[in-house]
Amino acid sequence: MLLSVSPMQTLTIQQVAQQTGLTVHTLRYYERNGLLEPIDRASSGHRRYSAEDIARIKFLTRLRATGMPIRQMQEFARLFRERPEAIGDRRKLLEAHEQQVQAHIQELTRNLEVIQWKVSYYKSLEARQQTDSTYSYSEANERQECLAAGQAFMLERALQQVDTEAEVEPQPHEASPSLHESRFQS
C-alpha cells in the first residue's frame, strides 16, 4: 500500500521502494528510461520523491500489472512530458490497452469457467464413488464421460452466450460496455 504523502513532504528512494513494492533498481530504471520525469534531489544528491512522483509510480505500476509493455508506457510518458496538449493521443493509447486488458479478462473468465466445471465434475465423480457401491473407477471410462460432459458444458455455455448477446444490445449513448457486460462478449 502506498504511503500518503502531503504535497510538501518527500520520500527517499528506499521509502518509495518499500511502500510500492518496487525495487530501488526499478525506480531508477523508470527514471532513466523516461517513464518518470527526473526526480528532484536533496542537497546530498539523494532522490526525493514528491506526492506527484508517487502518483505517477502508482499509475505505472497499474499499467505494468495489466501487461502494458514498457515501450507503450514510455510513449505515454513521452506524450505527457513533450506534448501535454495531446490528450487525445494519450487517451487512444490507454483505450487500446483497455481493449487488450478486456480481451485478457474475457480469456481468463473462459478459462476459469472450464476449471470450475472440471472441479464440479470431479466432485460429482467423488460423490458417485461414495454413494454407488457398483461404481468402479477406470481411466478410460472417465475420459469418455469427461469428454461427453465437457462437450455438453461447452454447448450449454455457447448457447448461454448467444442468449446473453441477444439480450444485451449496446445503446447508442453508451461509450463502452461495462466490465460485467464485456465479460460475456467474445
- pLDDT tens digits, one per residue of 66-117: 999 999 999 999 999 999 999 999 999 999 999 999 999 999 999 999 899 8
| Cα separation values, 158 from 106, 110, 120, 146, 170, Å | 14, 11, 19, 18, 20
Confidence grade of residue 55 (pLDDT, cut at 50, 70, 90): very high
State pTM to two decimals. 0.65
Residue 1 makes CB contacts below 8 A (sequence gap 6+) with 19
Tell which wins on pLDDT, 140 or 100.
100
Work out the angle at residue 170's Cα, subtended by the Cα atoms of residues 161 and 159, and round it to the nearest 5 degrees: 10
C-alpha–C-alpha distance, residues 25 and 16, integer Å: 12
